[in-house]
Amino acid sequence: MKDRTAFQTETGIKTETDSKSSKSDMLEFLKDVKVNDCVKCRLSAARKRIVFGEGSPESKLMFIGEAPGAEEDNTGRPFVGRAGQLLTKIIESINLKREDVYIANIIKCRPPDNRNPMYDEIDLCVPFLKEQIAIIKPEIICTLGKFATEFIIGNDKGTISSVRGKEFNYEGITVIPTYHPSYLLRNPGAKKETWEDMKKIRELYFKN
């Protein structure tokens, strides 16, 4: 197992701002050339669709979740089930639209029966996420839940309940963890805490 105190992967795509390729072009290249035909781990065997990510490549704000569910596997889009509907409402609560942000997961294929992703699966898939971040260059990342938070800020910072709402740094990007929408569906009492986290994100987003 790799050390999770840092996000240690190598990016393979040139992401300089003066590149002739647009961010959209670079994301499309990453998806078509590297991700769509990926068979690096066991999850590729049963997947229906790769769930790459969607939203504005120019966004200042990126949401990172855990893994696709059944509806995401069917559509190839992230966060389209009940948790996704709640995420859309959360985004709208801070005066943004879903298309204003970029949404991705640390895992691009659905784990069987919606189980938690295994660490070896994450190790093989997070290089794609790192490349997405390098291309988009968001100013703010909101990590949704334990797994996304662990792989962005490290697993030595505490539980999701102890780090949510706090500011961390990933390569110059402000990171604010919060609960995963699926957790909020099971524990609606935590929505109040998530709202406090989102108010911080809103303040940062509209600061400039």
The CATH number covering residue 198 comes to 3.40.470.10
Q: Tell me: pLDDT of 49 over 60.
A: yes
Q: What's the predicted TM-score (pTM) here? A: 0.89
Could you list the residue range(s) of the whole structural domain that residue 77 is in?
23-205
The CA–CA distances, whole Å, from 159 to 64, 117, 156, 166, 175 equal 17, 17, 9, 12, 15
The CA–CA distances, whole Å, from 189 to 70, 182, 186, 193 equal 26, 13, 9, 8
pLDDT for 130 equals 97
Domain membership of residue 4 (yes or no) is: no
Domain membership of residue 193 (yes or no) is: yes
Domain membership of residue 8 (yes or no) is: no
Question: pLDDT band for position 208 (50/70/90)?
Answer: low
Q: Average pLDDT, stretch 140-167?
A: 95
Domain membership of residue 9 (yes or no) is: no
Percentage, residues of the chain above pLDDT 90: 87
Q: Tell me: pLDDT of 10 over 80.
A: no
Domain membership of residue 13 (yes or no) is: no
pLDDT for 156 equals 87
Domain membership of residue 172 (yes or no) is: yes
Total domains in the fold of the chain: 1
Domain membership of residue 15 (yes or no) is: no
Q: Tell me: pLDDT of 119 over 70.
A: yes
Domain membership of residue 188 (yes or no) is: yes
